[in-house]
Amino acid sequence: MAMMAAGVAVAAGTGYLLYSIKNGPRTQEKGLMFDKNYNGQITSGMTILQNSDSMLKKGDVNNSIEEYAALFKGQTGKHSLNGLETTDGMLSSEESIAARQEGYRTMVNNFYDLVTDFYEYGWCQSFHFGPRWKGETFLESIKRAEYHLCSVLGMRPGVKALDVGCGVGGPMRNMAIFSGATCEGITINEYQVKIGNKYHEQAGVGKICHTTRGDFQNLPGFKDGKLWEGIDYEGQDWSGRFDVAYEIEATCHSPNKTRCFSEVARCLKPGGLFAGYEWVVLPDRGYDAKNPTHVAVKEGIEIGNGLPTLATPEAVVAALEAAGFEVLDHYDANQGVHDECQVPWYDTLDGKWSLSGFRMTRAGRSMTHAMVSCLETLRIAPKGTTHVSAMLNATAIDLVEGGKKELFTPSYFFLAKKK
């Protein structure tokens, strides 16, 4: 009871600060690839809940999470939004997967409306993992994974690159600064477009980085150029426009990879290269689709990350070939995940007991979740915010388990050439 009273007191004090702080639009310190508003546990929580750039109004959060949850109907497990403790594997049924494939635009857009700020709070502006060696910081490993793509794609000044599913543009900015190439990113989420283009300008790369709102299943120039009702590409046609393309843990959201990769191929010049890192399960390393525990981990990752279903490496390669690419190379960039000289890719999700790593420990995530819960109870945080926090906490556990058992990797690398 004393702990609960203390928690309510902290939440009440935080609530007072939330109302007393005048939050303007998000800003980024020049030269830094992270938002200065996300530098502290409490102040970062305030920024998440009172972000003036958000596309969601206070009453929209719960509606958005309910729409999102509806696309995962049939799931009754511990990873679902209702917090139960058993799983029946129904998310892996053909009917359940088909529903998410059909509703992927709503699913992915709602997902990133809900989680973008949480991601940036815990992960900075590059929302992905990367192989990591001992002696290397987390952010160094993230940049190295991005620079590897620059290297294999031959990115340099004068090269036009397409970033497929660019998020808020952290990788794009890092890669443009590193290589000098011009980068155009596309994301389905309007909020990410809004803050991404703002970050490009604030980082001083606005002339070589730009983000467009769109669907990587239907890139500009497709049919009549329209995306969906009320949104179009203003007559743009990207056919044959780009020298190279890349995706970083983004096309896992695709409901049809062959269609997505075919659209990328259409936008590349003849002989153009396409590289990326894909989220996959690993049947050759341990994943067993008949093992209920493995299926539960897979489904938990899907729920917590807005995915229709996780593919296998073989399915990714087959989709690239069907889309008109020659696959030059493919392998798990985390194949040495448990070598003694490497730091597992999931290590950061386990968290470290340090000032910089505490927020990613289970205790740190629990503290953030408790704060959000108290603020929602006090009607300071929007209704539904607690569900978002719980979903992300649950999927972090699944990702760690999937990594430890080598059931899953977020970094299946591929390099392909347009025929």
List domains and CATH numbers for the chain: 2-123+341-403 (no CATH), 132-287+313-338 (3.40.50.150)
| The pLDDT of residue 380 is above 70 | no
- What's the mean pLDDT in 227-234? 68
- What's the mean pLDDT in 84-108? 62
Q: What are phi and psi of 140, to 5 degrees?
A: -65, -40
| 3-class SS of residue 265 | helix
pLDDT band at residue 59, thresholds of 50, 70 and 90?
low
Length of the chain: 419
pTM, rounded to two decimals: 0.81
Among 313, 309, 307, 337, which Cα is nearest to 327's? 313
**Residue with structure tokens 């590059």?**
126
pLDDT band at residue 77, thresholds of 50, 70 and 90?
very low
Query: Helix 41-49 and helix 362-377: axis angle, to 10°?
Result: 40
Residue 355 is predicted with a pLDDT of: 42
Residue 229 is predicted with a pLDDT of: 57
Q: pLDDT per residue over 192-230, tens digit each?
A: 899 899 999 999 999 999 999 999 999 998 666 665 556
| The pLDDT of residue 82 is above 60 | no
- How many Cβ atoms from other residues are within 10 Å of residue 381's Cβ? 27
- What's the mean pLDDT in 297-310? 89
Beta strand 408-418 with 231-232: parallel, antiparallel or unpaired? unpaired
Instruction: Give the integer Cα–Cα distance in Å for 183 and 205.
Output: 10
pLDDT band at residue 348, thresholds of 50, 70 and 90?
confident
Instruction: Give the integer Cα–Cα distance in Å for 340 and 293.
Output: 27
Return the higher-pLDDT residue of 163 and 221.
163
Question: Alpha-carbon dihedral of residues 197, 126, 128, 222, nearest 10 degrees?
Answer: 20
| The pLDDT of residue 313 is above 90 | yes
Q: Are 91 and 100 in contact (CB under 8 A)?
A: no
| The pLDDT of residue 361 is above 50 | yes
Beta strand 231-232 with 242-248: parallel, antiparallel or unpaired? unpaired
Residue 234 is predicted with a pLDDT of: 79
Instruction: Give the integer Cα–Cα distance in Å for 24 and 52.
Output: 6
The C-alpha angle with vertex 141 and arms to 137 and 145, in degrees rounded to 5, equals: 170
Q: pLDDT per residue over 98-157, tens digit each?
A: 767 666 666 666 666 666 776 676 667 878 999 999 999 888 999 999 999 999 999 999
- For a pLDDT cut of 90, what percent of the chain falls above it? 48
Give Cβ neighbours of residue 383 (< 8 Å, ≥ 6 apart). 59, 61, 62, 376
Cα Rg of the chain (Å, integer) = 21
Q: Which range (37-41, 161-165, 240-244, 253-257) has the least confidence?
A: 37-41
Q: Which range (50-59, 181-190, 223-232, 330-339) has the least confidence?
A: 50-59
Query: Beta partners for 277?
Result: 248, 413
Residue 254 is predicted with a pLDDT of: 94
Instruction: Give the integer Cα–Cα distance in Å for 182 and 200.
Output: 12
pLDDT band at residue 324, thresholds of 50, 70 and 90?
very high
pLDDT band at residue 22, thresholds of 50, 70 and 90?
very low
pLDDT band at residue 265, thresholds of 50, 70 and 90?
very high
Among 416, 417, 413, which Cα is nearest to 331's? 413
**DSSP label of 129:** -
pLDDT band at residue 72, thresholds of 50, 70 and 90?
confident
Return the higher-pLDDT residue of 156 and 356.
156
Residue 396 token pair: 């972090």
Q: Are 316 and 330 in contact (CB under 8 A)?
A: yes
- How many Cβ atoms from other residues are within 10 Å of residue 312's Cβ? 16
Residue 238 token pair: 């990207």
| The pLDDT of residue 42 is above 50 | no
| 3-class SS of residue 23 | coil
Instruction: Give the integer Cα–Cα distance in Å for 362 and 364.
Output: 5
E-strand spans in 308-401? 325-332, 342-343
Residue 223 token pair: 């049919």
